[in-house]
Amino acid sequence: MIRMPSQCCFFQIGKVFLYCLCLSGGALFAQDISQKGIPLLDNYAPSQYLNHGKVWDIASAANGVVYMAGDGGLLAFDGQDWKQFQGSEGFTRSLLVANDSLIYSGSDFDFGVWKKNELNQFNYRSLYPFREDPTEESEEFWDVFQINEGIAFISASHIYWYKNEQLTKIVAPHRFSGAFQGRDRIYLADQENSLLTFDGRSLKTVFTFPDNPPLQIAGVFERQAGLVVVTQSKGLFLFRDDQLVPMPMAVSGYLKQDQVFCATMINESYFAFGTILNGLYITDLEGNIIQHINKKKGLPNNTVLAMHFSPDGLLWLGMDYGISTIHIYAPITYFFDYMGEFGTAYAALLKDGVFYLGTNQGLYQAAWQDLNNQVVVKPFRLIPGSEGQVWSLQTIDGTLYCGHNRGLFTVRGNTFQQVNNEPGVWTILPFQKDYLLTGNYNGISIFRRAGNTFSFWKKMELILGSCNQVMIEKDNLLWVNIPKYGLIRFSLNENLSPSERMIFPSTLFKGNAFYLKKEDNGIHLYTSTNHYRFLPEKKQFGEEESKLPPITVTGILEGIYKPTPIDGEYQFYSVYNGFALESISAAQRGLPVKSKLIVSKIEAFNNQESQLMPNRFSTAYMLNNLRFHFVIPHQKQALYQYQLEGFSEQWSAWSTSTSLEFTSLKEGDYVLRLRATVQGQATPITEVFFSIMPPWYRTKWAYAGYLALVVLFFYLNRQWHQVRLRKQRVMLLEQEKRALQQQAEAFEQEAWHRTQQQLEKEKKALQQQVKQKSIELTKKAKENEDKNRLLYLLKEKMDQVQGEPKVNKARWAEMQRMLESYLESNDKVFEIQIDELHQEFFNALREQFPDLSVYDMRLCAYLKMGLNSKEIADMLQVLPSSINVSRSRLRKKLNLQPDEDLHRFLNGIV
């Protein structure tokens, strides 16, 4: 339990707290947020941001793009285009932007991570382990924070700690009613009794709540003085030295009444509180209200659900209806008449601490201090009798003069006194010392000094029309601007009558809304489109290249309504339905441009289709029309310039357009360079590399094919000519051939006859030789046969002698061996002789019929040579009947049928 201090020490603690807060304010930008007027508001209705529903959380990336968690999922806005991405099925409640391409989000029944692909589209991946099998309790993840390189997804009942791809579940002591980011920890409000911290490892108690009812915490801020605790309905508290004490701040009473829903800090120098009942409060560190903005002052709704301060100086509000952006550091602030209190202002003047405002409804006054945008809603009071159109205000010799549609008036306090009733005083100009000139609806009126005031003297001759500007060039040389007519330059003589008039009709100039301005180098004329300077030596206007610097004021009136200095710090602008003030010092200081130029979308398209492209790509020739979308997020006054290398080396003129379109680009490699300037600050060049592929008929392969076709054409052409030449040569050769053939046929015929005759002679000679050889062989065979018969007879005799025992058996056996050897050798001699003539025949015969004897093969050779049985019998010296028997046996061995011819069969064996 914390110690509650006594009331007597509250004041001292508050003084210490305020002193420490001031010391810890960092850069101390307290004067940077103007207290007068309302910063520019950009309001977006749900129909403008894709009917996304309520926005519950807002964050921004380093490149300036703002992301929002809402009913419709993830919403992205770069100041130009809204993009919506669908992730989980429930409402998206919270988000954490880790970098330009990585976002964590929490939603109903789910949490996960978004990753940007190469087409600048986000893809969602759930990390919630119970997405498919939800727990009994419906978890809604209202907060996502990053500390100590881990991500905490927080619901009312659990913390899911995600680190190193691991998920740890931590149970709440009771129920979490809020979670707030610290430097290295997360603060969690327990619904029952305490404020806790979580450092990635465990929950620890910071303090327990005082007696019931428990505090409903809407914000926690770590300051050097201690821990600032923002509650929904009990104001602000400081926790220090184990004591929780109320903070004595001027804003506390309003916060208790209006119910704080969310809170944030701005540059460590301001507090911002979003309430349920009365919009937004911005205070300094001491709790003094710097800005109070609600529905009466321009917000679309009084309930602020989410807040985010982006580094580019914008405060984003997610409202119960709509989204608002507040340019809190802009040097220009606005006073819009939402309640019909004063109308559209045309003139303003600050005198003796009183701010006078001339409008279409009359002349108003307010204390200069009351223009601070605190809780006071109606600072202006109408001066009685001033009802009508006030065109100009001028202080002369301490007297305030008012140019009115009813004439010229003086203003003293609440007294509005008429000087002259000449209608429609546009402008008031002191001339020399004793005169006053006024430009009226019709001409110029001259007033002459009468004591401490001026009285009407006369109308100026020769000057007619509505003179909304009267300007002194030098001495008695003047200019007058008459809308729709032109300019007149003239001199005034002693009687203040115009002379030496030079008339410049409006038709000489381009544009409209003429505005004369005297500068160091002479008289200048600015129109809506051009800039001119008067050349005295030529007595004419010359066109200048430069134009009047653009005025970044929303709703400014055109023409003569240029900035009017109020004092050394502010100048006044006329705007529709109100007016604006610009802090001169803030405008000179400018705002740093922290966002960079980004290419948000690239499209390649034709008449039939469109495709998204990454920042480095190649596209087919059929998609050679390209559209680029780019922007410096949330910089409305940025000017852009581009150069397309591969198309032109020149940079384009500066333009406010945030898209480019190139059509019918030729094939090749390109580099698109983009740069921008904001408030005179140039951004680095952003490059996009891309290639247009050639059509198929202009590819390398196509050119190779064309070359091959050319080569083939020449080759075929050459072959065709060669074929023609060959045909011609063939025709000539055929003719020669036919001529020679006719000659050769005769010679061939004769030679053929001679050859035939010669061949016949040679055939007969060869046949005779073969027959002679056959006869010789037959004779040799007969001789061998005779020898063999003799030897067989001797062998028979010896067989007989061997049967007698008286003969020496050994000798007779020897003789028998010799005779047998002789017989075998003679058989082989015959076989060799036959082989010399019929070698191939015998080999084939043995291969087919291995059982044939030598006698059988000899008989086959005789039969093959064409010898008959008688001739064979004579050669073998046997009876013809023996040969016939041998032939019959031979037919059986040769497996011949009775009707098969033996001679033909033997001649068929090769």
pLDDT of residue 730: 86
Whole-angstrom CA distances from 501 to 94, 428, 491, 684 are 71, 21, 7, 53
Q: Residue 24 above 70 pLDDT?
A: no
Q: Per residue, what are the HEC states of 163-195?
A: ECCEEEEEECCCCEEEEEECCCCEEEEECCCEE
Tokens 């050994």 locate to 810
According to DSSP, the β-strands at 686-692 and 616-619 are: parallel
Q: Residue 22 above 50 pLDDT?
A: no
Condensed to tens digits (0 to 9), the pLDDT of residues 186-223 reads: 999 998 889 999 999 899 999 998 876 778 999 999 99
pLDDT of residue 14: 42
Contact 194, 227 (CB under 8 A): no
Question: Reduced to 3 states, what is the DSSP secondary structure of residue 228?
Answer: strand
Helices 809-848/854-864 angle, 10° precision: 50
The pLDDT confidence band at residue 312, using thresholds 50, 70 and 90, is confident
Average pLDDT value for the chain: 87
Instruction: Quote the DSSP letter at residue 739.
Output: H
Q: In this structure, which long-range contacts are made by residues 830-833, counting pairs with CB atoms below 8 Å and at least 24 apart in sequence? A: 830/781, 830/784, 830/854, 830/858, 831/857, 833/777, 833/780, 833/781
Q: Residue 790 above 70 pLDDT?
A: no
Task: Report the distance separating Cα 646 and Cα 851, nearest Å.
Answer: 101
Condensed to tens digits (0 to 9), the pLDDT of residues 219-239 reads: 999 999 899 999 999 999 999
More confident residue, 94 or 782: 94
Condensed to tens digits (0 to 9), the pLDDT of residues 85-106 reads: 988 888 999 999 999 999 999 9
Tokens 């007149």 locate to 488
Quick check: bond before 213 cis, omega within 30?
yes
C-alpha 487 chain-centroid distance = 54
pLDDT of residue 271: 96
Task: Report the distance separating Cα 56 and Cα 74, nearest Å.
Answer: 11
pLDDT of residue 820: 64
Instruction: Quote the DSSP letter at residue 451.
Output: T
Condensed to tens digits (0 to 9), the pLDDT of residues 479-513 reads: 999 999 999 999 999 999 999 999 999 999 999 99
pLDDT of residue 285: 92
pTM of this prediction exceeds 0.85: no
Q: What is the mean pLDDT of residues 769-792?
A: 69
pLDDT of residue 4: 41
Condensed to tens digits (0 to 9), the pLDDT of residues 103-121 reads: 999 999 999 999 999 999 9
Condensed to tens digits (0 to 9), the pLDDT of residues 358-402 reads: 999 999 999 999 898 876 668 899 999 999 999 999 999 999 999
Contact 390, 402 (CB under 8 A): yes
Q: Residue 8 above 50 pLDDT?
A: no
Task: Report the distance separating Cα 4 and Cα 141, nearest Å.
Answer: 34
pLDDT of residue 747: 85
Q: Residue 611 above 60 pLDDT?
A: yes
Q: What is the mean pLDDT of residues 408-419?
A: 95
C-alpha 445 chain-centroid distance = 65
Task: Report the distance separating Cα 600 and Cα 26, nearest Å.
Answer: 35
Percent of the chain predicted with pLDDT > 70: 89
pLDDT of residue 10: 36
Task: Report the distance separating Cα 295 and Cα 615, nearest Å.
Answer: 42
pLDDT of residue 837: 66
Q: Residue 342 above 50 pLDDT?
A: yes
More confident residue, 10 or 565: 565
Q: Residue 296 above 50 pLDDT?
A: yes
Q: Residue 719 above 80 pLDDT?
A: yes
Q: What is the mean pLDDT of residues 799-822?
A: 62
User: DSSP string of 507-555?
Assistant: GGSSSSS-EEEEETTEEEEE-SS-EEEEETTTTEEEEES--PPPP--TT
Q: In this structure, which long-range contacts are made by residues 440-448, counting pairs with CB atoms below 8 Å and at least 24 apart in sequence? A: 440/466, 440/467, 441/466, 442/466, 443/467, 444/470, 444/480, 445/408, 445/420, 446/496, 447/408, 447/419, 447/420
Condensed to tens digits (0 to 9), the pLDDT of residues 581-600 reads: 999 888 887 777 777 899 99
Question: Reduced to 3 states, what is the DSSP secondary structure of residue 20?
Answer: helix
Task: Report the distance separating Cα 282 and Cα 271, nearest Å.
Answer: 6
Q: Per residue, what are the HEC states of 854-902?
A: HHHHHHHHHHHCCCCHHHHHHHHCCCHHHHHHHHHHHHHHCCCCCCCCH
Contact 252, 242 (CB under 8 A): no
- Choose the weakest-confidence range: 8-22, 292-306, 546-560: 8-22
Max Cα distance, the chain (Å): 210
Sign (positive or negative) of CA dihedral 880, 884, 886, 887: positive
